[in-house]
Amino acid sequence: MKRIKMGCTTLSIPAMALGIMRMNQKSVPEAQVAIQAAYDAGINFIDSADIYGGGKSEEIFGQAFSQMQIKREEMFIQSKTGIVPGKRYDFSKEHILHSVDEILERMQLDYLDSLVLHRPDALMDPEEVAEAFDQLQAAGKVRFFGVSNFDMAQFKLLQSCLSQRLMFNQLQFSLKHTGMIDFGMHMNMVDKPSVDRDSQFLDYARLHKVTVQAWSPFQYGMFEGTFIDNDGFPKLNQELQKLADKYEVGKNAIAAAWILRHPANIQMLVGSMNPQHIRDSAKGAKIRLTRQEWYDLYLAAGNYLP
């Protein structure tokens, strides 16, 4: 598995992480198979969130992992908080602290390697968040911190009050969600792709050594479904299959290789609980697409260049 530097540190993490959003749909033995498949492929990074399955995903993970032979220190375990049932967000100190305690209990852990704030809270008080982070770190409950779906101004605002460096920002990025790179290639134009909806965060991350974690790497829309083997995207699947045949892997691996080919050292979140999909996706970390192959996929996904 390809390894990348985590944020501004010298620590290395795998270029892929296993997202456990759908683990609530699995039995404990099935969850163990998925975790083991990821670990055997070099994916020793887990990404979760307190809202996944209403907390059930973390419960299943905790039961599964506690019975496995993998040592805790061999895994990097991350969870997210901030989205509250009832369609609101909450970055209050009280909520963050309480949420972490509940996460640790569900996952049967003594600490999290990373805590990520899940989608921006319009009522965020950066100084209050800073107090929560300091308390969690001092108590040994969380080692590192990050955010999810923050634009550059939100990220800089929070960072200005923290004593810790934010390591991560989770952002949607895939062959069918390319906004973070479209506008740069359509600079000085007036067409739709020239609109910057992501506040140039990818370039900011490269300048300031923030690890972008790409979620929904095989999805189109937000949660409409996967573009892999989808009849609605014939050109893209034809190009994926051509390269899959060349590199002797599956389409998932090629779609993953496309993301990892970007020089920003992006970490890709694999959300599948299917062991075969996990193993195939992991093979993408070993493939370095040529520049022409990368652009051929970009164009086959329905994008165009000026």
* Cα of 5 vs its chain's centroid, Å: 15
Are 58 and 79 a contacting pair, CB within 8 Å?
yes
Return the pLDDT at 85.
87
CA–CA distances in Å: residue 254 to residues 142, 239, 276, 280: 34, 10, 15, 9
Helix (H, G, I), strand (E, B) or coil at 77: strand
Q: Which residues are catalytic?
A: 52
Return the pLDDT at 291.
98
Return the pLDDT at 139.
98
Backbone phi and psi for residue 84, each to the nearest 5 degrees, phi listed first = -110, 135
User: What does the buried/exposed string (b/e) look like for 237-246 if buried means 16 or more CB atoms within 10 Å of the residue's CB?
Assistant: bebbeebbee
Q: Kindly state the helix (H) or strand (E) to which residue 45 belongs, with its residue range.
A: strand 45-47
12-300 CATH pick, 2.60.40.3140, 3.40.50.300, 3.20.20.100, 3.30.420.10 = 3.20.20.100
CA–CA distances in Å: residue 2 to residues 89, 163, 181: 35, 30, 23
pLDDT along the chain (306 residues), means of 10: 95 98 97 98 98 97 97 98 93 98 98 97 98 98 98 98 98 96 94 92 97 96 89 97 98 98 97 96 98 98 96
Return the pLDDT at 87.
85
Q: CA 252, CA 256: separation in Å to the nearest integer?
A: 6
